[in-house]
C-alpha cells in the first residue's frame, strides 16, 4: 500500500544520506525496511534542513499532525468507524443467504448453483476491488476512498433492492461487493498508521472482527427479516445502515496516510512562503499515472514472488472459504435433518459467531503479550514471526472443529453437537485469520494496503468459489468425509506455519527480498 506513519521518518532519514535528485528514482512504498521495529522514530524538519531545507516532514517528535501522536479518543474514533464499516461490509455478504429460496421463487429459477452465486458473487467483488482501491488510496489517501466507496455501496445496495431480474441482481451485488471491499483493503493500513507494532494486536482484533463476525450474524438477521418483510427489505436495511456509515465517515474520519498529510502540508507551505522548491519527504517525483501503474500490479507481484505472502494468503483464503462452504451445508443439515424452520435456521449460524468471539477475545488477550514476551526473550528486537504461535493454535483448532461438525452431523447426534463443532471452527478461523493478517502487516509494513489486497484476492476468490462446489462434494462424500477432507487440508498447513515461525525472517530477507514490489 502506502507508507505508514511508522516508516515516514525512516524514509526521511534514508533520504538525508543521499542526494536530493535521487528522489526521482524512488517509489512511494519502496522504502528500506531495515528493521522489524516500527516504533516510529521521529525526524524533524530541522534535522532534514541540514541536508536539504526544502524537504518537508514532521515538526518534531510530538507533531500532532502525525497520526501516531493523535489523542487516544481520536484514534479510538477512527478505528471504531473503520471497524463499523468493516463489520457492515461482510454482514451484507451473507445476509441474503437465508432468503435465497425467496429470490429464486421471485425470478422463477431452480438452478442451485445460481442460487449459491447470489451470495458468493459479492465476494468476487472483494477479489477485484482491492486491486484498484489499494493503488487509488496511495494516490489520493484513505479518507476520500472510504467516503466514495461508502456512497457507491449504498447506491448499488439500493439497486439490488429494486432489481427486476436475476441478472441485474447479480451484477449489482458484484458492484456492491467491489465498493464494500474498501474497509477490508484499507483497514489494516489505517490501523498501522496510528498504532505502533507493540500495541497493534488489540487494535487489529476490533477490525478483523468484521470479516469474521459479520458473515455469521448476517444470516440470522436476514432469515427473520426475509420471513417478515420479504427479501428486498434485506437490501433496504443494509442501505439504511450504510447511509449511517456514510454520515459517520464523512463527519469524523480524518486522513491518516502519511503521504497525503505531508503532501497537503507541503502545498500549504508553498502557498504561504512562495517557495515552490519545497517538497514532501515522501515525494517520489513520479506522476500519478506512473504511481498508479506501479501500485496496481504490486499485490499480484507480492503473491507471485513472495513465498511468505503467497502461502499465508493461500492458507487464510482456504480457512475463510471453509466458513462460507460450511454455511452451504447448514440448510441441508439443520433444516433437512433436524427439522429447523426457514426462520430459525439463522440461529444455527450463531455457533460460528460465538466461536469467533471466543477466538477474538483470546487473540486480544494473548497476541501482544506473546510478541512482547518473545521480543524480551530474544534480545529485545521484535519480529513479525512472533505473531505466528497463535496461528499454529488456530491451524489445529480449525480441523478439530470440522471433524466434530462433520461426524456428529453424519451420525445424527443431537443438533447442539455440530453447532459446537462450528463454534470450534469459528474460534480457529479467528485465531488463524487475525494472527496471519497481523503477521503480513508487520512483515510488510511499508506495503500494508498492498499486502492486505493480495491476501484479500485469495481469500475472496476461495470464499466465492468454494461454496459453489459444496453441494457436489457433500453429495459425493457425505458430510462426515467431506468435512474431514477439508480438515486434512487445513491440518497440512500446520508444519508450514511452524517453518515460517523458525525460518520466516530468513525467507523474507533472502533472495526474495530483492524483488522490487
Domain ranges, ordered by start, for the chain: 5-65+256-283, 70-252+291-514
Model confidence at 23: pLDDT above 90? no
Looking at residue 141, its pLDDT comes to 86
When mean pLDDT is compared across 91-95, 461-465, 493-497, the lowest value belongs to: 461-465
Looking at residue 517, its pLDDT comes to 58
Model confidence at 113: pLDDT above 80? no
Model confidence at 192: pLDDT above 90? no
Q: Cα 294–300–301 angle (5° rounding)?
A: 70
Looking at residue 516, its pLDDT comes to 57
Model confidence at 393: pLDDT above 60? yes
Query: How confident is the model over 145-169, as a mean pLDDT?
Result: 94
- 187-218: b or e for each residue (b if 16 or more CB lie within 10 Å)? bbbbbbbbbebeebbebbbbbbbbbbbbbbbb
Query: In this structure, what are the phi and psi dihedrals at residue 18, rounded to the nearest 5 degrees?
Result: -125, 170
Looking at residue 438, its pLDDT comes to 83
Model confidence at 46: pLDDT above 70? no
Q: Place 1 in a pLDDT band, splitting at 50, 70 and 90.
A: very low
More confident residue, 158 or 456: 158
When mean pLDDT is compared across 128-142, 281-295, 314-328, the lowest value belongs to: 281-295
Model confidence at 74: pLDDT above 70? yes
Looking at residue 134, its pLDDT comes to 80
DSSP character at residue 99: G
> What's the CA gap between 43 and 15, in Å, rounded?
11
Looking at residue 437, its pLDDT comes to 82
Looking at residue 15, its pLDDT comes to 39
Q: Chain-wide mean pLDDT for the chain?
A: 79
Closest CA to 403 of 350, 482, 319: 482
Q: Place 3 in a pLDDT band, splitting at 50, 70 and 90.
A: very low
> What's the CA gap between 171 and 160, in Å, rounded?
9
Looking at residue 51, its pLDDT comes to 59
**Inter-residue contact 10 to 50 (CB < 8 Å):** no
Residue 24 exposed, middle or buried by CB count within 10 Å (0-12, 13-18, 19+): exposed
Query: How confident is the model over 363-375, as a mean pLDDT?
Result: 81
- 63-82: b or e for each residue (b if 16 or more CB lie within 10 Å)? beebbbbbeeebbebbbebb
Model confidence at 108: pLDDT above 70? yes
Looking at residue 397, its pLDDT comes to 93
> What's the CA gap between 103 and 123, in Å, rounded?
18
> What's the CA gap between 347 and 352, in Å, rounded?
10
Closest CA to 342 of 198, 257, 219: 219
Q: What is the dihedral of CA 151, 157, 160, 162, to 10 degrees?
A: -80
More confident residue, 322 or 207: 322
Looking at residue 380, its pLDDT comes to 78
| Count of CA atoms in the C-beta half-sphere (13 A) of 414 | 3
Looking at residue 31, its pLDDT comes to 36
**Inter-residue contact 2 to 449 (CB < 8 Å):** yes
Whole-prediction pTM: 0.72
Looking at residue 407, its pLDDT comes to 94
Distances (CA, A) of 389 to 14, 32, 327, 442, 495: 33, 27, 28, 15, 12
What are the E-state strand segments in 256-413? 279-280
> What's the CA gap between 480 and 487, in Å, rounded?
11
More confident residue, 214 or 269: 269
Closest CA to 401 of 430, 380, 379, 374: 430
Model confidence at 128: pLDDT above 70? yes
Looking at residue 505, its pLDDT comes to 81
Q: Render pLDDT for 269-280 as a digit per residue (tens, 0 to 9).
A: 888 888 887 887
For the chain, what percent of residues have pLDDT higher than 70? 86
**Inter-residue contact 253 to 146 (CB < 8 Å):** yes
DSSP character at residue 53: T
Q: Place 236 in a pLDDT band, splitting at 50, 70 and 90.
A: very high
Q: Place 41 in a pLDDT band, splitting at 50, 70 and 90.
A: very low
> What's the full length of the chain, in residues?
517
Q: Place 511 in a pLDDT band, splitting at 50, 70 and 90.
A: low
Which grid cell is 99?
Answer: 432468503
Looking at residue 212, its pLDDT comes to 66
Query: How confident is the model over 228-242, as a mean pLDDT?
Result: 93
More confident residue, 484 or 287: 484
Looking at residue 39, its pLDDT comes to 34
Closest CA to 457 of 305, 320, 291: 320
DSSP-derived secondary structure for 454-506 = HHHHHHHHHHHHHHHHHHHHHHHHHHHHHHHHHHHHHHTTHHHHHHHHHHHHH
In this structure, CATH architecture of domain 70-252+291-514:
Up-down Bundle (1.20)
> What's the CA gap between 333 and 348, in Å, rounded?
10
Helix (H) or strand (E) holding 68: none
**Inter-residue contact 345 to 222 (CB < 8 Å):** no
When mean pLDDT is compared across 3-7, 152-156, 160-164, the lowest value belongs to: 3-7
> What's the CA gap between 310 and 300, in Å, rounded?
10
> What's the CA gap between 421 and 401, in Å, rounded?
5
Model confidence at 228: pLDDT above 90? no
Q: Render pLDDT for 399-436 as a digit per residue (tens, 0 to 9).
A: 999 999 999 998 989 989 999 999 999 899 888 888 88
Amino acid at each position: 500500500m502506502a507508507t505508514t506513519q511508522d516508516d515516514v521518518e525512516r524514509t526521511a532519514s534514508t533520504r538525508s544520506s543521499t542526494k536530493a535528485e535521487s528522489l526521482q528514482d524512488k517509489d512511494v512504498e519502496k522504502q528500506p525496511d531495515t528493521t522489524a521495529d516500527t516504533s516510529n522514530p521521529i525526524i524533524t524538519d530541522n534535522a532534514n534542513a541540514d541536508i536539504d531545507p526544502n524537504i518537508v516532514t514532521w515538526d518534531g517528535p510530538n507533531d500532532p499532525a502525525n497520526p501516531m501522536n493523535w489523542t487516544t479518543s481520536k484514534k479510538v474514533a477512527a478505528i471504531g468507524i473503520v471497524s463499523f464499516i468493516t463489520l457492515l461490509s461482510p454482514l451484507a455478504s451473507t445476509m441474503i443467504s437465508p432468503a435465497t429460496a425467496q429470490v429464486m421463487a421471485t425470478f422463477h429459477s431452480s438452478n442451485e448453483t445460481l442460487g449459491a452465486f447470489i451470495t458468493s458473487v459479492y465476494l468476487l467483488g472483494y477479489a477485484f476491488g482491492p486491486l484498484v482501491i489499494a493503488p487509488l488510496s496511495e494516490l489520493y489517501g484513505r479518507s476520500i476512498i472510504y467516503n466514495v466507496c461508502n456512497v457507491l455501496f449504498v447506491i448499488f445496495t439500493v439497486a439490488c433492492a429494486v432489481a427486476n431480474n436475476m441478472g441485474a441482481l447479480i451484477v449489482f451485488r458484484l458492484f456492491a461487493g467491489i465498493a464494500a471491499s474498501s474497509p477490508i483493503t484499507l483497514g489494516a493500513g489505517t490501523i498501522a498508521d496510528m498504532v505502533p507494532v507493540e500495541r497493534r494486536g488489540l487494535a487489529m482484533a476490533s477490525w478483523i472482527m468484521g470479516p469474521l463476525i459479520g458473515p455469521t450474524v448476517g444470516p440470522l438477521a436476514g432469515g427473520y427479516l426475509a420471513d417478515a418483510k420479504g427479501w428486498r427489505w434485506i437490501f433496504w436495511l443494509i442501505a439504511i445502515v450504510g447511509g449511517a456509515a456514510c454520515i459517520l465517515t464523512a463527519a469524523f474520519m480524518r486522513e491518516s496516510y502519511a503521504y497525503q498529510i505531508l503532501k497537503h502540508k507541503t502545498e500549504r507551505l508553498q502557498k504561504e512562503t512562495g517557495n515552490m522548491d519545497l517538497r514532501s519527504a515522501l515525494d517520489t517525483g513520479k506522476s500519478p499515472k506512473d504511481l498508479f501503474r506501479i501500485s496496481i500490479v504490486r499485490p499480484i507481484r507480492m503473491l507471485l514472488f513472495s513465498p511468505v505472502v503467497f502461502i499465508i494468503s493461500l492458507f487464510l483464503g482456504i480457512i475463510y472459504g471453509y466458513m462460507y462452504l460450511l454455511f452451504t451445508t447448514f440448510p441441508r443439515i439443520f433444516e433437512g435433518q433436524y427439522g429447523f424452520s426457514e426462520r430459525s435456521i439463522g440461529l444455527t449460524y450463531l455457533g460460528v459467531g460465538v466461536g469467533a468471539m471466543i477466538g477474538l477475545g483470546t487473540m486480544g488477550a494473548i497476541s501482544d503479550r506473546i510478541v512482547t514476551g518473545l521480543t524480551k526473550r530474544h534480545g529485545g528486537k521484535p519480529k513479525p514471526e512472533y505473531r505466528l504461535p497463535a496461528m499454529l493454535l488456530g491451524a489445529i483448532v480449525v480441523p478439530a472443529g470440522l471433524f466434530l461438525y462433520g461426524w456428529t452431523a453424519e451420525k445424527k447426534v443431537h443438533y447442539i453437537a455440530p453447532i459446537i463443532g462450528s463454534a470450534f471452527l469459528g474460534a480457529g478461523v479467528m485465531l488463524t485469520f487475525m494472527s496471519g493478517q497481523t503477521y503480513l502487516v508487520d512483515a510488510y509494513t511499508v506495503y500494508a494496503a498492498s499486502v492486505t489486497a493480495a491476501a484479500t484476492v485469495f481469500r475472496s476468490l476461495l470464499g466465492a468459489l468454494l461454496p459453489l462446489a459444496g453441494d457436489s462434494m457433500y453429495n459425493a462424500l457425505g458430510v462426515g468425509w467431506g468435512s474431514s477432507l477439508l480438515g486434512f487440508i487445513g491440518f497440512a498447513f500446520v508444519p508450514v506455519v511452524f517453518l515460517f515461525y523458525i525460518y520466516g525472517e530468513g525467507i523474507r530477507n533472502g533472495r526474495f527480498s530483492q524483488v522490487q514490489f
